[in-house]
Amino acid sequence: DTGVSQDPRHKITKRGQNVTFRCDPISEHNRLYWYRQTLGQGPEFLTYFQNEAQLEKSRLLSDRFSAERPKGSFSTLEIQRTEQGDSAMYLCASSLSTGKETQYFGPGTRLLVL
Amino acid sequence: GQNIDQPTEMTATEGAIVQINCTYQTSGFNGLFWYQQHAGEAPTFLSYNVLDGLEEKGRFSSFLSRSKGYSYLLLKELQMKDSASYLCAVMDYGGSQGNLIFGKGTKLSVKP
């Protein structure tokens, strides 16, 4: 257990529905990242926050995706109008913006869109 | 462009030594990370290199050559529980950016 938690761990939804995932980082970490991982691939960066500011978004993050970190603590990732291609593991990681900036990953949310 | 290459699969015998190579081409460089990922689980941090040379941590060592864009992860005294995917990742910038660029991972199978 790295100290990063994610909820839910699994989500099955029908195409066109909206889903929201939550990530609680290690408490003293000011940086929070979202990645997506599909089978046989490494994680792909989606977006990241420093405190409550969203500093970078990947072009993978279409306008159906939105992420927030309202108080600089937990974060949510919402996918609107889900598509089958959104099926993946969504990983959250956190780090401290000093030193090695090692990112510690949560257990992930596995999304299946039917 | 950004590219990180590592072998797709490797097989080794329990008790042996295995070396997993990684080559990278990225816009910038602010450190190279190795993660271990068991099937269905999240990546767990193994090692970090930012300067050239070897970093040793128990049964695991990681080497970096920045001039060659090359790293390897060395696993000694292999155990069955080491069967997992090993991910090489580069942090391409520091400061305001810091996302990791991952390779596709090397699936290591340890046989008795």
User: What whole-number distance in Å separates Cα of residue B39 and Cα of residue B62?
Assistant: 22
| pLDDT above 90 for B110 | yes
Q: Which residues of chain A have a CB within 8 Å of the CB of B104?
A: 40-42
Q: Residue B1: what pLDDT?
A: 65
Compute chain A's Rg from CA coordinates. 13
Q: Are A82 and A36 in contact (CB under 8 A)?
A: no
Cross-chain CB nearest to A108 (options B42, B45, B50)? B42
Q: Are A104 and A31 in contact (CB under 8 A)?
A: no
Q: Are B44 and A2 in contact (CB under 8 A)?
A: yes
- Residue A80's SS3 state is coil
Tokens 């889900």, residue?
A: A82
Q: Reduce the secondary structure of B53-106 to three states and give it as a string.
A: EEEEECCEEEEEECCCCEEEEEECCCCHHHCEEEEEEEECCCCCCCCEEECCCE
- Residue B8's SS3 state is coil
Contact A42 B105 (CB under 8 A): yes
User: What whole-number distance in Å separates Cα of residue B15 and Cα of residue A104?
Assistant: 29
Nearest Cα residue to A81 out of A13, A14, A18:
A18
A17 to chain B, closest Cα gap in Å? 24
Q: Residue A21: what pLDDT?
A: 98
Cross-chain CB nearest to B87 (options A42, A55, A108)? A42
What does the pLDDT look like over B54-70, one tens digit per residue?
999 999 999 999 999 99
Distances in Å between the Cα of B22 and the Cα atoms of A77, A91, B1 are 31, 23, 16
Distances in Å between the Cα of B101 and the Cα atoms of A52, B3, B85 are 23, 8, 16
The residues in A 59-88 lying below 8 A from B, measured between CB atoms, are: none
**In this predicted model, which residue has the larger pLDDT, A99 or B80?**
B80
Contact B103 A42 (CB under 8 A): yes
Cross-chain CB nearest to B100 (options A45, A97, A100)? A45
- Least confident interval from A28-32, B62-66, B77-81: A28-32
What does the pLDDT look like over A35-91, one tens digit per residue?
999 999 999 999 999 999 988 888 778 899 999 999 889 999 999 999 999 999 999
Contact A101 B41 (CB under 8 A): no
Q: Residue B96: what pLDDT?
A: 47
Bridge-based pairing of strands A10-13 and A109-113 is parallel
A33 to chain B, closest Cα gap in Å? 7
